[in-house]
Amino acid sequence: DAEADSNNDSLEMTTSETRPTTHSTAGNRRWIILGAMKMLWLLVELYFAFTCFLVVDILVRDELPDWRYARLLYWITSIGLTSTFFIVSSIMLKWVMIGKKRPGPACQSVPSELASWACDFHYSIGGAVLYGLTFHSSIWNVILLAFGMDIDLRSHVAAHAFLPSQLDLISVKRSFVSKSTFDIKQDGQYKAIKVEDSSIGLNVVCDPGVTVRKSLVSPATYVTTNLIHDQHDQRNEPVTGWELIRITLLNTILH
């Protein structure tokens, strides 16, 4: 009996020791598969970019006026139209590959993670040029609406900081949002983030499920709990365009 108990104990120890190795092997296999699929997707992006440039070249080459800066105009128009094609295709990819996300259990399968990464990557590389030319334009509010984000036209956001895979769970109303990071997944659950009547500074990180209302969040702040106030922060009062011009002129003259 003692020998049998000893054998059972050794078997249990062997089993417990092999479990982490099994989980580690499965995890490594998962990341290898995901990494290989991402590399294949990069080829898709390369061919898509080439196709866009080819189509734009066919549309633009013979339509531009023959003048001194025709070559410069050609490249500006080509890059701008290609970036526009990327944005339109990003919206289509988001709805086809991801669909609409809702608060609740998060899908963590390899195809789901690949779809989210592919849409985010496609949007990031394609919209950079167009965003640089139209920084803080209200047209980006319309683009974010097309992705599924709950945002109004009164808000001003750094649109290129948002990712298509997160936009269904982010709501921004009457607020300013600089380039920040929003995390929508925690403990295998999707959680919505709401920003209302607030101003969020540069490099702010918001945890899943937080609500920021009538608050001013300083740059480089890590928001882990709800920030809700009954009254507006006086530093967050809206400024008209003429008032902004006046302040800029005064600062320029005084300096």
pLDDT in tens, 45-96: 999 989 988 988 888 877 777 777 788 888 888 888 888 899 999 999 999 9
Mean pLDDT confidence for 135-161: 89
Cα gap 228→113, rounded to integer Å: 33
At 39, the pLDDT band (50, 70, 90 cuts) reads very high
Please tell me what DSSP assigns to residue 222. E
Contacts of 123 (CB under 8 A, 6+ apart): 86, 87, 90, 94, 163, 164
Q: Domain tally for the chain?
A: 1
pLDDT in tens, 187-197: 889 999 999 99
| pLDDT over 60 at 2, yes or no | no
Cα gap 55→63, rounded to integer Å: 13
Domain that holds residue 26: 2-254
Which pairing describes strands 211-213 and 185-186: parallel, antiparallel, or unpaired?
unpaired
Task: Report the side by side order of strands in the sheet with 150-151.
Answer: 150-151, 170-173, 193-196, 211-213, 227-228
Diameter of the chain by CA atoms? 99
The owner of tokens 């969020």 is 200
